[in-house]
Amino acid sequence: MNAAKPLDNFPLVRSRDIEEVREAIARIYAKPALVPAPGVKALDATINNCRLQDIDLTYGAFGAAIEIEFPATGFFCQLFPIRGKGDVIIGSTPTTLTAGGIAVVPADAEVSGKYSDDYEYLVLRINARKLTEKLAALTGAAIQEPLRIEPQQNWRHPASQILQQYVPLLIDTLSDANPPFPEWWIAQTEQLLMTLFLCGHCHNYSHLLEQDVPDAAARQVRQAEEFIVANAERAISLEELAEVTGVSAFSLFSAFKKHRGYSPMEFVAQRRTRQGKIR
Amino acid sequence: MRSTRPLDRFPLVHTQNAEEMCAALAMIYAKPKLSLEGRSNEGDATLNYCLMKDIGLGYSKYGIGARLAYRESDFTLQTFPLRGRGEATLNDLAIQVGPGRGMTVSAGTSYSVKYNAGYEHLVLVLDTSVLTDKLIALTGRSASRPLRFHATGDEVRPAAKSLRDHFLFLVETMSTSAAPLAKWVLAEFEQTLMVMFLHANRHNYSHLLEDAPADSAPRQVRRAEAYIEANWHRAVILEDLAEVSGVSALALLRSFKKSRGYSPAELLNRVRLDHARELLRHSDAATVAGVAATCGFADLARFENVYSLAFGERPSETLRRGAGAKPAGF
């Protein structure tokens, strides 16, 4: 059972001793109430913790059935169970954690739960104050009311999926890395994680992040391209493309320039030469 | 059976014709001279290209053996071969490319490539001026010479692997995501790839990234550095630096020592030596004495001395090696 675990190059604790594990967790979060299940004498805990700046990533396994209670820490946490099972209450919401599942912990929520002896997990933790600053920077809005992220989320939403796929990739990268990382590398990685986190969850400021549907333009470009390909045998005017896509000729032109780097008419010309040659 | 290729959502051209392929490449990068081996209707060339804001993600395959020759362009790029093999020639260097072994092409570099029929690659294209701005922002120093990358690197280095993984992740996400990515996410990925590109590839400013911790140096230090970078060929005295940075000479000296660990004079020396090395390597008419004078070293013996200390070889040796790399006729 000595297979490499995620983030093994950032060991926090390897211990059978309950108090030692408690103390180790207290060094990174807050001291938890940690109680082994009846009959359990010792743990076989492995906890790894990679701290960037305002974000950290943790891998943990306790090696015994336990109950554990965390106070609120001022961090948003995303939990990625990778083995075993946990029955937890996040704030006041009961949740079952199983491999492949996911959960988010609001910054002001306590988490308590019982975990199976084979439970293993990854956690992404983001400083709530820094995340709020990032939100303000992205949207340009003044953030008065605290950022609230409800535990129930649509985890199948594409924006959430990107975060779910990205975190394991980053953990892989970190697990292969030789720390220390350059500060500017860390800073950029944190910016990306915070952005993915804010866009990947539904929260009380989501509407600010959605107001500008970014890829409407790209959709028009694709529509126009399909039309051009389908009608490559005849002359097509920019106005006709504008009509098909339902936007002005000018915005279609700018959308092409922006998303493709060339104009719609250049694309038309290119398709037409091609058509001519094939025949 | 129609398999999906990377970035199929962003088709640029699908053709059997070399000229069309050239026209398509010219739209996104630079027009190459392309020749296909065998009859042209045997080929099945595909070019997909997703242009973000300052970077582009491309996929290409030719379907038959192909030779391409590119003139200099303004872009910086790195290829990530997926299948097949090829050979590239750039800066008189022959590079074998294939899965796990791509190459990096600096702006202003002409190069040629030869791919076998099964060759396919992904390519990351970066706007060099934006990349340079990013470098300046990261190091807090101005970049007076163009950013030049080593053509090949060690791909198993964690930094290189990390760039590759992030790049492939973005390609995969752009190729398959059920909904468009939020513009914030796109912008942040672009930033991340640029930072990782600068970290993963060796270049003529790598040393700045290595010794510059994300710059917390006071503004006066950064101002003085910018002034030195811009005026290295002139006589720069401490009083000039104090004036541009708006603090006293003594205060400037102290904050330099504190945030950088060296003095402004040491930096000026280093910048001049770097320029001298560039000139010795690449200038056709260079002489050691001429270069020393151009770079502000009045005393030739002292120049030879500090140069040898900095680079481990005498200036005349650099000059001699540089001569070998210059085109014939010089």
Instruction: Please tell me whether residues B163 and B244 are part of one structural domain.
Output: no
Pick the last residue of a domain from B212, B243, B258: B212
Does A140 contact chain B (CB < 8 Å)? no
Overall number of domains in chain B: 2
Which of B15, B28, B162 is facing A274, going by the closest CB pair?
A: B15
- pLDDT per position as a tens digit, B58-111: 999 988 899 999 988 899 999 999 999 999 998 788 999 999 899 999 999 999
CA dist B28 → B48, B107, B151, B163, B195 (Å) = 10, 14, 21, 22, 22
Which DSSP category does A105 fall into?
Answer: E
The CATH number assigned to the domain with range A1-212 reads: 2.60.120.10
Contact call for A158 and B23, based on CB within 8 A:
no
Q: What percent of chain A has pLDDT over 90?
A: 52
Which residue intervals of chain A bear CATH 1.10.10.60?
216-278
Is the pLDDT at B135 greater than 50, yes or no?
yes
Domain of residue B269, CATH code: 1.10.10.60
Helix (H) or strand (E) holding B323: helix B315-325
Instruction: Please tell me whether residues B128 and B261 are part of one structural domain.
Output: no
Nearest CA in chain B to A274: B20
Instruction: Please tell me whether residues B225 and B155 are part of one structural domain.
Output: no
Q: Flag whether B330 is in a domain.
A: no
Does A260 contact chain B (CB < 8 Å)? yes
- pLDDT per position as a tens digit, A227-237: 888 887 788 88
Domain of residue B127, CATH code: 2.60.120.10
When mean pLDDT is compared over A20-34, B75-89, B134-148, the highest value belongs to B75-89
Q: Which of A270, A271, A272, A278 is best to mutate for the B interface (most B CBs within 10 A)?
A: A270
CA dist B257 → B157, B218, B228, B250, B266 (Å) = 33, 11, 16, 11, 10
Record the pTM: 0.71
Question: What gap in Å lies between CA B11 and CA A40, rounded to an integer?
Answer: 60
Give B76's strand partners: B126
- pLDDT per position as a tens digit, B69-80: 998 889 999 999
Question: Confidence band (pLDDT; 50, 70, 90) for B323?
Answer: low
- List of chain B residues whose C-beta atoms are within 8 Å of the C-beta of residue A178: 158
Which of B58, B174, B228, B102 has its CA nearest to residue A165?
B174
The CATH number assigned to the domain with range A216-278 reads: 1.10.10.60
Distance of CA A110 to the CA centre of its chain: 21
Lowest mean pLDDT among A49-58, B56-65, B146-155, B182-191: B146-155
Boundaries of domain holding B256? 219-325
Instruction: Please tell me whether residues B99 and B186 are part of one structural domain.
Output: yes
Does A54 contact chain B (CB < 8 Å)? no
Nearest CA in chain A to B206: A182
When mean pLDDT is compared over A217-231, B61-75, B227-241, B282-296, the highest value belongs to B61-75
Q: Tell me if residue A196 falls in helix, strand or coil.
A: helix
Instruction: Please tell me whether residues B201 and B73 are part of one structural domain.
Output: yes
Pick the last residue of a domain from B212, B247, B264: B212
Does A1 contact chain B (CB < 8 Å)? no
Q: Flag whether B183 is in a domain.
A: yes
Does A180 contact chain B (CB < 8 Å)? no
Pick the last residue of a domain from B212, B242, B276: B212
Instruction: Please tell me whether residues B207 and B239 are part of one structural domain.
Output: no
